A and B are shown apart, each in its own frame.
Chain A
């Protein structure tokens, strides 16, 4: 097998993709348009905020920072859009021109291929960031920011680009057409941005307190990166720059997303799927533990973050591992609802055992890690509501996935319906409540926001306990849906269109 060095620094897929990306006039035109837009924003922003003859020093400083914020905001938008779009085309284009089959007829592991795709996109993102340097330099020369803030911000933004590119790659693996992949990727990217911004905002709200000592969770909000780029956290009494733990966790998130994409590209019940599931369990244990290493001033920030990350992973992964049905190549027939021995096989009967193991590992990590490593974390218990909520959400989506699959024969429809519900559950109540209720969900007294199932994640600390309630509601609802799905499946198996399931069982 290829070494990690080969995978990262001598990757044929990355080399070829990068070559194609920079070929011909297309790249020149694209970069020119990008620089033009960035410069235009800079000029408009400068003209409206700074081009005045008399302002006092304090106001001038504030306006310069605002100018810097506008430029970096545009840059963030550009990077997110470009990274997501490039990621969304990465696999689906190979599928469409059917070159994916040629690649996998060679001794190539899906990981090598996906890492290559991601490296190709990351190189392009770095180019985009380097090209923005002259515009950023203007801000620095004018006094809106320091070089340190700008470079650290660019590094963190590149990590965000990597995460969004990985999101695009996962969507690209799921989709069959480029337009579908792009739409799905952009939708997920928008939701992820909203999710991350809300979390980052929460982190800032609890973390800033007038100092530069803020939880590194703030860096997950793409649009505040440059404002808190040089912040730090206290780790075992040592001040650590937040971009360091952020980079570690960002790479872990990217790795997990790649594992998801890899499992989609690998066959079922193979060694690859087993290895991937073992890796996912390991990460599920490791990631929450690592998050404890950079405690925020208030441990409750991590509670929000655990809930955020957990629900995000659940929403992305559960529809895929739960749905069953037939597709063109693979076979995911309904082989039962709970079989522990199928934990690592990737079949529908192993979905629930895997989910329990995955979330169990996370819970054990969250609760035991501080004790194992004698960390001075005072608020371990505050993480429980959001862990229960995550678990309940997973059970709900699992039950829903089985109920939907029971009525359909094609796995693609089942996955799509499950994903829509997962996204809808997060987004729709928030939109509805913000329309109906003028109050912000961050206000502890906003009663109607109690109806929002994810309030314990995005809301204030006072509302954390509601996570227990909604976790319970989700779990009971999921169990009922699964039960309903089983009954429906048994009835449907008598019908001719489900004949293949029965014949396959006999075979």
Chain B
């Protein structure tokens, strides 16, 4: 369990993080969202024991980040927004170095395991500078995994990656969550975060504006459900029919067959509405709730101001 309480970082009158608090449990994949300069990296660096918080506390499985940094370092894997790779070092040597400084036993076996997990086995004897950006990113992730950490801090892991590499990384992070690790991922690519994070936090100017499951946060910001219906034939009559109902607004015909609208109600109301449409003879082809749009929520919540 990771418990962050009122964590604050003050650079001599400059408040980078203004007392943020949240809790995560094993298996949680937490998306940390914010503009550049919002305080994401500062928070992550404090959790990684690289920055001393001005006040507040953070504990991982009961161990305090400030009081016992060495113990915490054994339990975390930190991947910053840069690679920090050595030249003239082979992939296995790079991992061996980090495994050694973490005091890992059975190093060759562990290196083989993390290489397999990150799909880099074939590159074991390659020099790190010869790897593609996506592979280097995976190697960095492999480095974070050599000591089997309980918490992974990934700062902008997908930046600069092509779509294929991004998809691979996404799958890998989801897998780490399934392995029971707590994963904190900061990113600007919001739709992707919504795909594999079971909770997110939105930070601006050092303040955590929202925290929770993606669906819950979207629901808070968007009380109405955004629905879309596709009918056989013209959609004009459907628009008219929907307009006569209560609790429905923002009706918009997207094309000749598709209409979108907002329903102020819960899942039961949604089910009743569909039943009423069918009973009224509306030729429904598809009826669906549009996915939660994290980007909309982010833009609504934040002003774009930075520290």
Q: Does A59 contact B (CB under 8 A)?
A: no
Fill in one digit per residue for B4-36: 1 if any A CB lies within 8 Å of its CB, else 0.
000000111110000000000000000000000
In the complex, chain A residues whose CB is within 8 Å of the CB of B97: 12-13, 15-16
Of the residues B11, B84, B93, contact of A16 by C-beta under 8 Å: B93
Query: Among residues 395 to 449 in chain A, which have CB atoms less than 8 Å away from a CB atom of chain B?
Result: none
Q: State whether the Cβ of B61 lies closer than 8 Å to any Cβ in chain A.
A: no
**Partner pick for A107 among B11, B74, B93, B143, CB 8 A cutoff:** B74
CB distance from A275 to the nearest CB of B (A): 14
CB pair A267 B52 closer than 8 Å: yes
Contact with B along A461-482 (1 / 0, CB 8 A): 0000000000000000000000
Complexed CA–CA distance, A109 and B73 (Å): 11
B80 engages A15 (CB within 8 Å): no
Picked from B12, B70, B80, B93, the residue with its CB within 8 Å of the CB of A507 is: B12
Taking a contact as CB atoms under 8 Å apart, the answer to whether A106 and B14 are in contact is: no
Which B21-65 residues have C-beta < 8 A from chain A? 48-52
Are B10 and A507 within 8 A (Cβ)?
Answer: yes
CB distance from A188 to the nearest CB of B (A): 27
**A294 CA / B71 CA spacing, docked (Å):** 45
Chain B residues with CB under 8 Å of A106's CB are: 73, 98, 101-102, 147
Report yes or no: B84 in contact with A97, Cβ–Cβ below 8 A. yes
Select A101's contact among B14, B50, B147, beta carbons within 8 Å: B50
0/1 string, A493-507, CB within 8 A of B gives 1: 000000111011011
CB of B85 within 8 Å of the partner chain: yes
- Given the complex, which residues of B lie within 8 Å of A112, measured CB to CB? 101
Which residues from chain A contact B98 at a C-beta distance below 8 Å?
102, 106
- If the complex has contacts A99-B85, A104-B50, are A331 and B103 also in contact, measured as CB distance less than 8 A? no
Min Cβ gap A251→B in Å is 24
| Known contacts A20-B88, A326-B12, A107 near B102 by CB under 8 Å | yes
User: Which residue of the partner chain B has the closest CB to A2?
Assistant: B103
B209 on the A face (CB < 8 A): no
The answer for the CA separation of A104 and B73 in the assembled complex, in Å, is 9
Residue of chain B at shortest CB distance from A506: B13
A64-102: contact bitstring with B at CB < 8 Å (1 yes, 0 no)? 000000000000000000000000000000000111011
- Asked if A24 lies at the interface with its beta carbon under 8 angstroms from chain B, I say yes
Minimal Cβ-Cβ distance residue in A for B11: A331
Whether, in the assembled complex, A455 has its beta carbon less than 8 Å from a beta carbon of chain B, the answer is no
In the bound assembly, the distance between CA atoms of A289 and B101 in angstroms comes to 37
Q: Mark out the residues of chain B between 70 and 121 whose CB falls within 8 Å of any chain A CB in the assembled complex.
A: 70-71, 73-74, 76, 78, 80, 82, 84-89, 93, 96-98, 100-103
Residue-wise interface mask of B (122-161) relative to A, using a CB-CB cutoff of 8 A (1 in contact, 0 not): 0000000000000000000001000100000000000000
Chain B residues contacting A331 (CB-CB under 8 Å) are 11-12
Question: Per a CB cutoff under 8 Å, which of A102, A501, A503 touches B78?
Answer: A102
> In the complex, what residues of B have CB within 8 A of residue A507's CB?
10, 12-13
Residues of chain B lying within 8 A (CB to CB) of residue A107: 70-71, 73-74, 101-103
Residues of B within 8 A of A504 (CB): 12-13
Q: Is the CB of A500 within 8 A of B13?
A: yes
Q: Does A108 contact B (CB under 8 A)?
A: yes
Once bound together, how far apart are the Cα atoms of A105 and B101, in whole Å? 10
> Chain A residue with minimal CB distance to B74?
A107
A142 CB within 8 Å of chain B: no
Report the minimal beta-carbon distance from B152 to chain A, rounded to whole angstroms.
Answer: 12
Identify which of A24, A103, A506 contacts B101 (C-beta below 8 A).
A103
A12 with B101: CB separation less than 8 A: yes
Give per-residue flags for A213-244: 1 if the beta carbon is below 8 A from chain B beta carbons, else 0.
00000000000000000000000000000000
Query: Which residues of chain B are within 8 angstroms of A326 by Cβ–Cβ distance?
Result: 12
Task: Check B78 against A99 for contact (C-beta < 8 Å).
Answer: no
A506 vs chain B, min Cβ distance (A) = 8
B88 and A12 contact, CB distance less than 8 A: no
B81 nearest CB across to chain A (Å): 10
CA distance A299 to B178 in the complex (A): 73
A105 adjacent to B73 (CB under 8 Å)? yes
> How far does the alpha carbon of A493 sit from the alpha carbon of B273 in the complex, in Å?
69
List the B side residues contacting A108 at CB < 8 Å. 73, 101
> A500, B88: Cβ atoms under 8 Å?
no
Q: Does A52 contact B (CB under 8 A)?
A: no
B264 to A: closest C-beta gap in Å: 46
B89 touches A20 (CB 8 A): yes
Taking A16-B89, A504-B13, A507-B12 as contacts, is the C-beta distance between A102 and B84 under 8 angstroms?
A: yes
Which residues from A are CB-within-8-Å of B80? 98, 101-102
Residues of chain A lying within 8 A (CB to CB) of residue B51: 329
Contact B13 A503 (CB under 8 A): yes
- Asked if B48 and A105 sit within 8 Å, CB to CB, the answer is yes
Output the least CB separation between A233 and chain B (Å): 42
Cα A115 to Cα B84 with chains together (Å): 21
Query: How near does chain A come to B146, taking the closest CB pair, in angstroms?
Result: 10
Given A103-B101, A105-B73, A108-B101: A333 and B86 within 8 A (CB)? no
Q: Report chain B residues within 8 Å CB of A104.
A: 50
Is A490 an interface position by the 8 A CB rule? no
- Is A19 engaged at the interface, CB distance under 8 Å to the other chain? yes
Task: Assess whether B86 is in contact with A20, with CB atoms less than 8 Å apart.
Answer: yes
Chain A residues within 8 Å of B100, by CB: 12, 15
Q: Which residues of A contact B103 (CB under 8 A)?
A: 2, 107
Chain A, Cβ-Cβ closest to B86:
A99
- Chain A residues 1 to 56 lying within 8 A of chain B, measured CB to CB, are 1-2, 12-13, 15-16, 19-20, 23-24
Residues from chain B with a CB closer than 8 A to the CB of A98 are 80, 82, 84
Residue among A1, A109, A503 making CB contact with B12, cutoff 8 Å: A503
A97, chain B: closest CB distance, angstroms: 6
Residue of A nearest to B80 (CB): A101
- CB neighbours of B70 from chain A (8 A): 1, 107, 109
Chain B hits for A103, CB < 8 A: 101
A19–B94 alpha-carbon span in the complex (Å): 11
The distance in angstroms between the C-alpha atoms of A48 and B52, with both chains bound, is 64
Q: Which of A13, A23, A106, A270 has most chain B Cβ within 10 Å?
A: A106
Residue contact B85 to A24, C-beta cutoff 8 Å: no
Chain A 237-268 interface mask (CB, 8 Å, partner B; 1/0): 00000000000000000000000000000010
Instruction: Report how far A97 CA is from B100 CA in the complex, Å.
Output: 20
Tell me which residues across on chain A come within 8 A of B93, comparing CB atoms.
16, 19
Residue of A nearest to B127 (CB): A23
User: Which residues of the other chain, A, contact B12 by a CB distance below 8 angstroms?
Assistant: 326, 331, 333, 500-501, 503-504, 507
Please name the 4 residue pairs, one residue from A and one from B, whose CB atoms are nearest each other, closest first: A503-B13, A12-B100, A504-B12, A99-B84
- Listed in ascending order, the chain A residues whose CB lies under 8 Å from chain B are 1-2, 12-13, 15-16, 19-20, 23-24, 97-99, 101-109, 112, 267, 270, 326, 329, 331, 333, 499-501, 503-504, 506-507
Other contacts beyond A99-B86, A101-B84, A105-B48: 6, CB < 8 A: A12-B97, A16-B89, A19-B93, A23-B88, A98-B84, A504-B12
26 residue pairs from A and B, CB less than 8 Å apart: A2-B103, A12-B96, A12-B100, A12-B101, A15-B97, A15-B100, A19-B89, A97-B85, A98-B80, A99-B84, A99-B85, A101-B50, A102-B143, A106-B98, A106-B102, A106-B147, A107-B73, A107-B74, A107-B103, A108-B101, A109-B70, A326-B12, A499-B13, A500-B14, A503-B13, A504-B12
